[in-house]
């Protein structure tokens, strides 16, 4: 580091000598302080209208000059650069001095600066840390215990592929939020392609045996962030195949035997992927890839963050996993009709007799009982449909579960973070709603979730509207069902798309 480089913000504020180490000042680290970073890498151009920069110039990057200087100083050392976005106007740029509230995110920010990222890209990292992360877990307050901040952002500092995936998700989210097509159609796609390229390298590295825990967990985290990108963008996953890849790697590493409670980070990512695997299998049981043995292992090691992130209690996850295992076996012809019917009837009985009051919940919020009840009847509905997809939506056993789901969700106010966990139950109830007012209620709550989370959930509404339209076209005397899975196939072929309704 050159002696004339500026001191970090923390040392400057405390008027002390700074060692100017990058990405974080070691003096701050040894004293247990959060290093404020080196914001004077940015020059100013234009006028900002809000925040600390009101009536001052807004920051822009010095990408070209920085790259040029780096090239001249050491032409033998290649520098990795990420493309910058020119989509944000000066008035929309964040206050760089206040970017990212957590120490881990600040570290990642410094790493991004070292890659010559522009303030626009730093805005994407800020989007992930301050906007996206809090909505991935149902917490009453946005705390430092958020596992996405705790695990994903520090790993992104070490794993380039994960950093690309985080930037892709953030650019997609920010682009839709600001109606900036360049961000979600160009920048996000560019980052996503780079993330997938890096993911291929990571998979080869892990499969070769030459890896550490960060390499392995960075791989699983990258897959999950890519799937979240799919959910944010459309709900139809083009990265669903990566779930199968994660299962394959887990099997190769024999994680069902080697994982322990101390592998908290690995268990967190794999537990979420196991749930996303089940969500995908709701529309295509044949695509279920996590084994029941690995699911049981993971869920036995998961802490209550699993419910905070995914909503569905672990005991119900294991039961619906059994249902989908049998549906998969039936589709491949390895389970006879009689045995299949008996096993699903038995599992329906287990769902009805399961006692939600005996569950452990992430906190003492009584609304967790409403979430649990909604998921219990979601599982019952899916099991009944797998048992007989032609059973009429007007049958009492179907409408009983529809009513139970809607009544449970009605007890959860829009101000509660728990409402964001209930896209799947709303969708499953909506698919069998018969009255206009109940359908309208489902759409209102889905819209409420979308506005609260700022994440796109277009797939559930699109599928519901197709089901409702098809039912409206049937003769009045025709009581046969219109399965929602009929509309999950690609319009160009019979290919089954991967739907992540979550």
Question: CA 59, CA 45: separation in Å to the nearest integer?
Answer: 6
Average pLDDT of span 476-485: 90
Neighbouring C-alpha atoms within 13 Å toward the C-beta of 263? 21
The predicted structure's pLDDT at residue 445: 96
Question: CA 408, CA 425: separation in Å to the nearest integer?
Answer: 10
Question: pLDDT band at 71, cuts 50/70/90?
Answer: very low
Tokens of residue 204, six digits: 């080869």
Question: CA 332, CA 270: separation in Å to the nearest integer?
Answer: 26
* CA-wise closest residue to 344 among 357, 356, 329: 329
Question: pLDDT band at 15, cuts 50/70/90?
Answer: low
377-422 per-position pLDDT tens digit: 999 999 999 999 999 999 999 999 999 999 999 999 999 989 999 9
Name beta bridge partners: 60. Answer: 43
Q: Residue 448 class from Cβ within 10 Å (0-12 exposed, 13-18 middle, 19+ buried)? A: middle
Give 322's contacts (C-beta < 8 A, 6+ positions apart).
Answer: 292, 343, 347
The predicted structure's pLDDT at residue 429: 97
Which pairing describes strands 498-499 and 59-60: parallel, antiparallel, or unpaired? unpaired
Q: What is the percent of the chain where pLDDT is above 70?
A: 73
DSSP tag of 187 = I
The predicted structure's pLDDT at residue 314: 94
3-state secondary structure string, 50-115?
A: CHHHECCCCEECCHHHHHHHHHHHCCCCCCCCCCCCCCCCHHHCCCHHHCCCCHHHHHHHHHHHHC
DSSP secondary structure string for all residues of 337-358: HHHHHHHHHHHHHHHHH--GGG
Q: Does residue 157 register a pLDDT over 90?
A: no
Higher pLDDT, 455 or 183: 183
Tokens 């992927």: give the residue.
273
> 228, 133 in Cβ contact below 8 A?
no
Give 200's contacts (C-beta < 8 A, 6+ positions apart).
Answer: none
DSSP secondary structure string for all residues of 203-265: HHHHHHT---HHHHHHHHHHHHHHHHHHHHHTSEESSTHHHHHHHHHHHHTTHHHH--TT-HH
What predicted TM-score, i.e. pTM, was given to this entire model? 0.73
Question: CA 200, CA 167: separation in Å to the nearest integer?
Answer: 18
Q: Does residue 105 register a pLDDT over 60?
A: no
């Amino acid at each position: 580091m050159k002696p004339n480089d500026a001191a970090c913000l923390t040392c400057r504020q405390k008027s002390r000598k700074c060692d100017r180490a990058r990405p974080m000042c070691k003096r701050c680290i040894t004293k247990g302080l959060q290093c404020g970073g080196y914001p004077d890498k940015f020059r100013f151009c234009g006028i900002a209208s809000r925040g600390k920069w009101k009536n001052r110039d807004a920051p822009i990057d010095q990408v070209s000059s920085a790259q040029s200087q780096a090239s001249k100083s050491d032409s033998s050392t290649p520098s990795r650069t990420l493309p910058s976005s020119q989509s944000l106007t000066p008035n929309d740029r964040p206050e760089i001095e206040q970017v990212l509230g957590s120490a881990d995110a600040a570290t990642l920010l410094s790493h991004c600066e070292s890659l010559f990222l522009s303030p626009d890209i730093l805005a994407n990292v800020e989007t992930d840390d301050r906007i996206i992360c809090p909505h991935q877990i149902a917490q009453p307050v946005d705390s430092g215990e958020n596992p996405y901040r705790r695990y994903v952002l520090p790993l992104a500092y070490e794993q380039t592929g994960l950093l690309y995936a985080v930037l892709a998700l953030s650019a997609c989210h920010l682009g839709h939020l600001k109606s900036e097509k360049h961000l979600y159609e160009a920048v996000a796609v560019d980052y996503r392609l780079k993330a997938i390229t890096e993911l291929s390298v990571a998979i080869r590295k892990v499969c070769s045996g030459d890896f550490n825990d960060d390499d392995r967990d960075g791989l699983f985290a990258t897959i999950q962030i890519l799937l979240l990108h799919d959910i944010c963008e459309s709900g139809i996953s083009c990265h669903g195949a990566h779930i199968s890849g994660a299962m394959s790697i887990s099997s190769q590493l024999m994680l069902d035997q080697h994982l322990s409670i101390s592998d908290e980070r690995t268990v967190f990512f794999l537990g979420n992927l196991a749930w996303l695997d089940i969500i995908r299998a709701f529309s295509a049981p044949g695509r279920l890839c996590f084994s029941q043995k690995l699911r049981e292992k993971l869920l036995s090691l998961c802490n209550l963050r699993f419910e905070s992130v995914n909503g569905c209690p672990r005991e119900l996850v294991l039961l619906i996993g059994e249902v989908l295992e049998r549906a998969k076996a039936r589709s491949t012809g390895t389970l006879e009709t009689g045995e299949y019917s008996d096993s699903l009837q038995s599992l329906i009985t287990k769902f009805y007799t399961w006692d939600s009051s005996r569950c452990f919940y992430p906190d003492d919020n009584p609304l967790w009982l409403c979430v649990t009840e909604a998921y219990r009847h979601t599982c019952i509905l899916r099991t009944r449909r797998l048992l007989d997809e032609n059973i009429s939506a007007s049958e009492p056993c179907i409408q009983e579960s529809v009513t139970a789901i809607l009544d449970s969700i009605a007890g959860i106010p829009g101000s509660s973070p728990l409402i964001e966990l209930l896209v799947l139950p709303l969708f499953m109830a909506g698919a069998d709603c018969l009255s206009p007012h109940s359908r309208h209620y489902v759409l209102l709550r889905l819209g409420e979730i979308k506005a609260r989370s700022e994440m796109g959930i277009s797939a559930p509404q699109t599928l519901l509207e197709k089901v409702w339209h098809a039912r409206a076209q049937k003769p009045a005397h025709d009581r046969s069902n219109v399965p929602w899975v009929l509309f999950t196939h690609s319009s160009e072929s019979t290919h089954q798309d991967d739907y992540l309704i979550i």
